[in-house]
Structure 1
């Protein structure tokens, strides 16, 4: 676990990154389920979830850039 946290000043940043990755995977699963079932609303919701996760990830990268 220590190796995973190397380079992070707090676990909060790591927690956020893991949460964003989980959100992106969830969005991909929703999109795939929507495609498979022909549910365009579910597919769009999955794409939106992925977009939100991508924006959060970009925010984390900006914070990391200012940390050092």
Structure 2
């Protein structure tokens, strides 16, 4: 179940990050890049959990 949660959180963070990157404020754009990277990492975490199954 944690796999799906991580993937959903990752998608949300990526989408939020991409939206923030369209801002005129440089700090908000930087925050958006950070959020997008966080989302990608969460998705990878979810994929790893899925591959490992019940081993973790």
If the TM-score is normalised by the length of the shorter chain, which range does it land in? Answer: 0.7 to 0.9
Q: Number of aligned pairs? A: 54
2:2 matches 1:16? no
User: TM-score normalised to the size of structure 1?
Assistant: 0.67
**Relative contact order, higher structure (CA 8 A, sep 6+):** 2
Runs of 4+ in 1 over 4 A off after TM superposition: none
The structure having more radius of gyration, on CA atoms, is 1
Gaps of 5+ in 1: 1-9
Gaps of 5+ in 2: none
User: TM-score normalised to the size of structure 2?
Assistant: 0.79
Alignment of 1:1-68 (within 5 A): 10=1, 12-33=2-23, 37=24, 39-67=25-53
